[in-house]
Every structure is written in C-alpha cells, then in structure tokens.
Amino acid sequence: EPNLFLINPNGIIFGEDSKLDVGGSFVATTANRIGLGDTGRFSASEPDSSNLLNINPDVFFFNRLSNQAEIINRSTATTPALGFFINELPITDESGLQVVEGKSLLLVGGNVSLNGGSLLAPGGRVELGGLSEPGTVELNTNSNNLSLSFPDDVTKADVLLDGAFIGTQAGGGGSIVINAQMIDMLGGSFLFAGIEQGNGSVDSQAGDIEINAQGKVNISESSFILNVVSGMGNGGDIEINAKDTVTVSESSFIANTVLANGQGTAGDIKITTDSLEVTNDATLFTTLLGEGNAGTVKIRASNTVRFEGVGSAVLSRVDSEAIGNGGEIEIITGSLEVTNGAVLNSVTAGEGNAGDVKIIARDTVRFDGVGNNGVGGVLSSVSSAGVGNGGEIEITTGSLEVTNGASLNTSTLGQGNAGGVKIRATDTVRIDGVGSNGNSSSIISAVSSAAVGDSGEIEITTNSLEVTNGAVINTNIFGRGNTGGVKIRATDTVRIDGVGNNGVLSGVLNSLGNGGVGNGGDIEIITGSLEVTNGAVLFANIFGEGNAGSVRITASDTVHLDGFSSNGTPSSILSLVGTEAVGDGGEIEITTGSLKVTNSALLNANTFGRGNAGGVKITATDTVRFDGVGANGLPSSAFSSVQSGAVGNGGDLEITTGSLEVTNGAQLSASTFAEGNAGGVRITATDTVRFDGVGGNGLTSGAFSSAEPEAVGNGGNLEITTGSLEVANGAQLSTSTLGQGHAGGVKITARDRIRFDGVGNNRQPSGAFSRVLSEAVGNGGDLEITTTNGSLEVTNGAQLSASTLGEGNAGGVRITATDTVRFDGVGRDGVSSGVFSQVNEGAIGDGGEIEITTGSLEVTNGAQLSSNTFGEGNAGDLRITATDKVRFDGVGSNSFSSVASSQVGTEAVGDGGDIEITTGSLEVTNGAFLSNSTLGEGDAGNVRITATDKVRFDGVGSNGFSSGTLSQVNQGAVGDGGMIQITTGSLLLTDAFISSVSEGNGKAGNISIDTRQNLETNRSSIQTTTLSGDGGNINLWVGNLLLLRDNSQLATTAGIAGAGGDGGDIIINAEFVVAVPREDSDISANAFNGRGGNITITTQGIFGLQFRVSLTPLSDITASSEFGLDGEFQLNLLSPVDVTQGLSELPADTVTSELNQSCQAGGSQSAGSFINTGRGGLPPDPTEPLGSSDLWEDVQLPKKTSTDATDLPTTNSGKLIEAQGWIVNQTGQIELVAQLPTTASQWGCSLR
C-alpha cells in the first residue's frame, strides 16, 4: 500500500475528529523539503523546483524553522482489543490517527504535542520527534516499516504527551520511538506495546518502546509506559535515554510484564540518563503473571538516582500463579537515594526464582526512612506461596547508608532459599536508627516460620562500618533450613553502638529461632578495629533444633567492648543455646592486637537447652584487658556456662596474648548449673597476667570455674601460662563444685614471678582456690603453681587454698619455684597469708596435700602453711623441698605465729597430715613454729625435717609463743600424737621447743633427731608429754656435741594429770653430752602412775649432768615414776675410761704433788699445774663452757734466750711418776711432764 506523507513547514494540527484512512504508513512533518533519493526532492517552500515523478523519500530537510512549526494531535482512536489488566484505559470509541497493522506512523516536526490525541500502529511503528534548529532527519525504509534517524549534533525539538495514548500492541512487532530535546508525558498519557491476548507464538517478538532526549524526560500525572505480553511471545524492551534527567512521578509507572494468560519472556526496562528521580508513588516494574521470565530493570545514571516516598519503587515480581523467574534490578550510578518508604523489590510468589538487585554507585548509596506502609529499602523475597529462591542484593559503592528504619532484606516465606546480601563500599557503610513505624534500620536475610529453605549470607566489604542506635544486621531462620553467615571485612573500623528508641539493641545477629530446624551461620568480622558499645551486641544463637553459628573476629589493631544500654543491657558478644533448643552453641573467637572489655561489657557462651555451649577463644598479640563493673551492677566478663535446666557441656575460655589484665571486679568464668561439665579457662600470656581489685558491686576480679548448685557435672580446669602473674587486692583464681561433680584444678606456670597480694575491700583475700562447697558431692581440684625461673610471693593476707565443705576430697596444692617462695604477713581483715588445705566442718572427704618445691622458702609475719580436717576425713600432708633454705619467722599483726601446721579439728574424724621439710637449712624464729595436732578423733600427723646443713629454732614471738615444733593431741581428742623426726647437719634451739604432747586419750608421738654435728639447746626443750597415755620416745643421734644450756629440758613425761601412762624412753647417741651443772638442764623420762621411761646414753663423755632419783635445781638425769616403777638409766661410754669414775663430784682439794721432777726448769716463766678434775671437765673460764670452737693457738713467736743454751743436768727418776703438767714442744705436740721448767720455754701457749 502507498505511504502517505503530509508536509507543512508552518505546522500541522490534527483535530479531535481527525482520522486516517490509508493502507500504508503515514508520515506528517514540518520539514521544508523531502529528499527523494537520487531522483530529486520535494520542497514545500519551493514547489516549482520539486520533482514528484519518482517518490522514494529518504530524508527530511529542516532549513528554516518557524516558531509555529509544530505538530499537534488532538485526535482519539477506536479502542483496540488490548486485553490489558487495567480495566480503564485512556482510549475512547472516537476516531483518531491510526494506521493498519504493521505500518508506521511518524510525526516529524519541530515540537510535537499530543494533547489528548491517540496514535495507533498495531504491530507497526509510532515515532515522534523533531528539530529545533536546521538539520536533516533521515528516513529509513525496512520493508513496509519506516523509521527516523536524528542527527546527534543538532538540537532537537520537544515532545509533549498530555492525556495522549500511543499503542502498537499486536501479535508481534509494534515499536514506539520518541526523539526530542525535552519529553513530557502528562495527564495520564499512555505508551503501550507488546503482544496482545490470543496472538503471537513462541517465536513472536514484541517491539520496543524507545525514548531519547537530549535534555529531560518527565513522566508524571499517572502516565504509563507499558510493554506487555498478553499472548505468546517475548516482550519488547522499554528504553529511555536522557542526557539530563528522567523523572517518573505522581503514580506514573514504567512496566514490562507477562500477563496472567501470557507465555514468554518480558522485555527489559533500560534507563540511561544523567539523573533519575522516581517519586510520589511512581514505579518501575517488570512482572511475570503467566509462564515465562520477567524482564530486567537496568538503570544507568551518571549522576544520581533517587526513589522517594511511599509507592515509589522498582519492582521485579513473579506472581502467585506464575511459573518462571523474576528479572534482575540493576542500577549503575554516581549516587543512589531510596527514601521515605521507597523500595527496590524483587519477589517470587509463584514457581520460580526472584531476580537479583544489583547496585553500583560511584559515590554513595542511601536508604532512608519508611513510609506509612512500614517499608523502605531493598527487598528480595520468596513469598508464602512461592516456590523458588530469593534474589541476591549486591551493592557496590563508595559509601552506604541505611537509616531511620530502612532495610536491605532478603527472605523466604515459602519453599526456597532467601538471597544473600553483598555490599562493597570503598569508604563507609552506616546502618543507623529506627523508623517511624518502630522498625530498626537493618540488613536481614531470613527464613520465616512456615518456610523451607536457607537464608542467604550477608557480606559487607568496606573501609569502615557503623551499626548504631538500634540498627541490626541479621540472618535468621524460623522455618526449616540453615541460616547464612554474616561476613564483614572493614579495613579500618567496625563500630556497633547503642540501642534504638524501640528498645532494640544495635547488633549483628545470627539466629535459629523458635521452631526453626537447621544450623546457624557464622558471624565473621575482619577489620582494623572493632567497637561494641553502649549495649550493642554480636549474637549467634539457637532457639530451635540445630547448631548455632560461631562469632569470629579478626582485628589487626583493637577490639573494644564497653558499657551498657539505657535499659541496662551490657555490650556483648554472645553465643547462646536457648531454653527449648536442641543443638550446640557456636564458638566466639577473637584474634586482635589488643582486646578491651570494660564497664560491664561481656563475652558470653551459654546453653539453656539440650546441647553444648560454645567456647570463647581470644588471641591478642599485645594485651587483653577486662575492667570494671557498670552502673548496671554487672561485671565486665567472659562467661561460658551450662545454665539451669540445660543438658550439655560448657565451652572453654581460651586467652592467648602478650599480657592480660582482669581488674576492678571483672571476671572470667566457666560454670555449669545443670547436667553437664563446665568448660575450662586457659590463659597463655608471654609477658604478664594481672588480676586486681573488687568492683563497685562487691564482686571479686578473677577467673572462675564452677559446678553450681543443682549441677550434675564437673567444673573445668583453670590453666595460666605466662611470664609473670599478679593476683592482688581481693582478686581470685577459683575452681569449685557446689553440685554433683568434681571441681576443676588450677594450674599456673610462670617463667618469672608469681605474686598473690592483699585483701579486697569486700574482705575477700587475693588468692587461688579449689573448693568443694557445702552440699556438693565431688572432689576438689588441685592447685599447681610452677615458676620455672622465678619466685612465688603470697603476701598481706593472700591465700592459696584447697578445701572441701561437702562430700568429697579437697584438692592438693603443688608449688614449684626454682628461686624462692615467700609467704608473708596478714591482710587488713586479720587473715593470714598462706597455703591451706582443709576439710571443713560437715564435710566428708580427705584434705589435699600441700607440696612446695623451691630454692628457698620464707613464711614470715604471721603467714601460714596449713593442712587441716574439721570434718570426716584425713588432713592432707605438707611437703616442702627447698634446695637452699626454709625460714619461718615472726608473728603477724593478728598475733598469729608464722607456722606450718596440720590439725584434726574438734569435731573432726580423721588423721592429721604429715609435715615434711627437706632443705639445706631450716630456721624457725621469733615465735614461728611447726605444728601437727588433733582435737578430734584421729591421729596427729608427723613432722619430718631433713636439712643437709642446719636447723635452728630461735626466739619468742610478740604473742609470747616460743619458736619450735609441736605434735599435739589436745584435750578431749582421741588419737595419738605424731612423730617428730629431724635429720640435719646441726640443730640449735634458743628459747624454743620440740614437743610432742598428748592431752587427750592417746599416746604422744616420738621425737627422733639425727645430726651430723652438734645439737645445742639454750633455754629450750625437747620433750614428749601426755596427760594419761604413754609418753613418746626421744631418740637422739648426735654426731658431735649434745649441749644443754640454761634450763634446757630433754624429757618424756607421762600421766601428768595423775593418770596412767608410761614415760617414754630417751635414747641418746652423741660424741659428747654436756650441760652446765648449776643451770638446771635436765634429761628426764618420768611418769606419775605408770612406769618411768628408760634413758640410754651412748657417748665418749658426759659432762655437767648427774643421774639422780628425782629432779633437783641442778642439771639432772632422771627416770622416775611418782607412783609406779622407775625407769632405768644406762650409760654406754665409748672411751677406755673406768666407768666407775662416772659422774662423780669434783674433789674439794686439788691433788697433791707426789711426783719426782722429771726435767729441769729454767728461765723466768712461772710454773703451771695439771689438776685432775674428773669427768666434769675444766673450762678455760669459770663462767663459760668448753665449746667446740675452742682450740690451741700460739700467742707468741719463738725467741732466743739472752744466753747460749747449756745442757741441763738430767735427773733420773727411780720410778714412773704421774704427770703434774704439760708443755708444748717444738713440733707442736703436748708432752706431759712431772714439773714445768722454770726457764723460758721455746713456746708459750694459752687455751682460748
């Protein structure tokens, strides 16, 4: 059919009743002339030169443009059979401009205006455009279709559609093209293309709608651009290109869809512009209501894209009855804003996958606020009736903001997986605040309660991330499926802060909710520094059936958790198995340079359900610091616990760092309150570990592992490996059991120094403790302390204690320090520093052993080493091994002596523990003592001392007690005293005692002393005493001298209450036994009703003591019984001396001289004499004894006589004459002589 060309350079107006009746295409133009190819041209302004013999137009020339050279169409067209899903279309039954199917309708002018007019070209082409300055427009012919090509370098004219309708829908084809400077679609104008209902085939292709503007495109006032597949075939694209701005507003929309009866793929929506604004309920959408795939929405805006207000949206949807996949939403721009309820939405409600949402913004992406519908942001979902996977949300930008309730949300409510969220922002990501509807700003991937599928992962890669004021990042599942993880990588900082005005805590969450079945995903954060403050949380939990995810943090610089929210909730990192949950909690892992947890912030891994709690693992190359208590009364802490009602094991707390500080009430704790074992606490710090102080809530700083009341399970171990450890001002390391299970042990290994010091203001001592508490059934754990190169100090009331108050054995205390161990002083509460192993009153179980291995040990100023039982059980032993020395000294400010003791208490049933000391030298001075005693039913323990060098007991303390060693059965007790055994080089007692006493119903213990050298006593005693039982024995093996001075006593006494009991035996083996006669130093083995003990002395000589029937003010040896048989005294002399000389009194006069002179005296030296004084000996000074240090010493050099020596005449003795004196010859030997020479001898000597 011939085409019709209408040309008028002055303009064309189509009235309301205008219509076309042509068989071909129709072109109306205001061009000056038309080019006819090679055959000529037709000019409207110069008709004489026109050539119309062969019409094949190919170009329109616009030479001179008139201001009135526009085309106006006011016509209307008959309503076509559109089959569109909107019932009321802006088409009437009146006639308009229409060409037959497959033909073109072109309006080429200056400006083109359709004021209520309609243009119809079913399956053909409608094209509008014009120029506003001279130029040419090419006319293209493709079969019967005509099209236009506009020059790029010529300014175009404007196109206005006001209440207009342009339609090209048919069985295929049908394009709409507009080329202009400015394009306005107003008043409900409608561009409509596609495949109509009942038409098309699988291969059918609808035409495109293309709008090209050199300036702006404005689509408003409920205007629509629609490309629809109502029949069968593929929809065409909608493409808008504008160099300036595209505005879609006021309930207008641009849509590409496959309708309910359609089959095929919808076309794409493509917008390329400088800026795009979609506002006031305007929408861009691609939907699938039939069978096929929805198209994509692609937006390219070099400057900005803005969606604003409720209903303003980009929508990709697979409808409820549809079968097929949704299309992608793709935005590439400089910056994107989606505000006040606007959304980017990809959803599947049918059978098929939802499309992805991909955003690339050079500068910023901002999602802000919600509308009155409660929605704002980006949504990708599988709805409740949907079967398919949700789409991904991918954002790449410089900075991203999600604020005031806006959300990036991928979810599944049906059958299928929710999509993931991937964000890459080179600068910042900020999620902040709460919307007007009370919803938090958020990034969420979720599986709802009735859904079956996995939630997607949330991945954020940026320089810095902020989640503040109630905003959340959350992956969760309430249906059947696994939650995706949350992965955050921020090169600089991650900051999570505060609580929203809706009460929601800012946070990153991964949750398996109530009713959910599946596993939780991990939360993984990699950053430079992380801050979680003012009540914010990182939370991986399980409330359904499955395992919770882990929280893993890697921060090259710092991690800081601080403070609490306005409602008192602490800032925290949590791993939780909820009350009704079945599954294991996830791990909390932190790797950083330094970690700070302050002002009630916490790390917490708990189980309340049926499953194991996760562990907490911290690795910090520099420091870890837990500090303080918040105003909410909660301590800064790291917890792992099995809570009441739970069944499962607690997780471990593991800290590896350079240095660790836990101060001002902060705590590390692993506990069980239910059926399961508590986790352990393991600390490794290459430099220092410091626990210090008490919080404002009165709680102690420390590390704790416990099995709590109602628990059935064991407490975990507490292990610390470090360079040095300090526990001060009431801080504690403690393992305990209050339920049915064993307490864990405390194991400390320090390269250098370990120090426990002081008492807190809550009156709790600093220290390390292992406890079986009241009503508990289980054993206490051991305390093991090792310092490989350094020392241990326990001072000012600090304690190391292993005890039981329940049913079970107390743990032991084992200390190994290569250098020194020092226990010193009393705390301000009057409690002594020390080591304690104790079975408390009401307890059933044995006390643990105390073992100390070190270079040297000091216990001073009231400090104590004590192993006691006050319940039913044996006290533990106390073993000390010190290669150098052991020193107990003084009295504390509480008037308690420095001691090592083992006691069986008043109501106790059990034996006391042994005290064993092995060392180089032992000093017990100034009121300090070693004691084993029983006040209850049981034997006192033994005291065994082995010192290669010496043992010294010396002095009286400020409390009036002498230094010494005591084994005692107290009054009312039933049991025997323990043995005291001392093996040493030398033993010295000054104002001291070694005593074994029984005041109850039992024997006193034996005393056994073995010294290589001397045993010296000054105002001291070595004795065994009983009220009614047999006295203990005393066995002394003295390598050299046994010296008793100044009222010293060596005694065994039985039955001092007038009751029965035999005196103990005394056996002495000594080179010499010496006492001063008038100092009343005695050796006695006496009894009252029983038999006196036996005394056996084996010696080279005994001096200053005499055996007597009873004690006198002199130095005596007695073995008597007041009402019974006396004991026996046996003296075994090892020297060849007549024992009948024995212990005789000294003669009143010296022996007279009966000897002949055997040598001639000469010189002027005065004569000496030799007097036999008997076995008592003669001291060099009447007031001093002969000591082992006395020796012969030369006091003058040899000298020549004034005259030559002459031979003295020799006097021969007629018989052997007894010596009367001695001289020292030239060889230094002593010679006995009958008379001293009167001449000066070659040597003069005196005794010193």
What residues are paired with 759 via a beta bridge? 765
Q: Are 254 and 248 a contacting pair, CB within 8 Å?
A: yes
**Cα gap 1069→512, rounded to integer Å:** 82
Distance set, CA 1162 to CA 328, 605, 1153, 1232 (Å)? 138, 104, 20, 17
pLDDT at 38: 67
Q: Rounded to 5 degrees, what angle do the CA atoms 1213, 1214, 1220 make? A: 45
pLDDT at 591: 97
Read off φ and ψ for residue 38, nearest 5 degrees.
-85, -5
**Cα gap 648→1009, rounded to integer Å:** 57
User: Burial letters for 760-781: b for 16+ Cβ neighbours within 10 Å, e otherwise?
Assistant: beeebbbbbbbbbbeebbbbbb
pLDDT at 885: 97
**Cα gap 755→752, rounded to integer Å:** 10
SS3 for 806? coil
Q: Which residues of the chain have pLDDT under 50?
A: 53, 78-94, 1137-1144, 1146, 1148, 1150-1171, 1173-1178, 1183, 1186, 1188-1216, 1236, 1238-1248
Place of tokens 């009222």: 1047
Total residue count of the chain as it appears in this document: 1248
Report pTM: 0.82
**Cα gap 622→687, rounded to integer Å:** 9
Read off φ and ψ for residue 47, nearest 5 degrees.
-65, -30
Q: Rounded to 5 degrees, what angle do the CA atoms 977, 978, 979 make? A: 130
Distance of CA 156 to the CA centre of its chain: 69
pLDDT at 67: 59
Q: Rounded to 5 degrees, what angle do the CA atoms 1010, 1011, 1016 make? A: 115
Distance of CA 872 to the CA centre of its chain: 40
pLDDT at 32: 84
pLDDT at 1177: 47
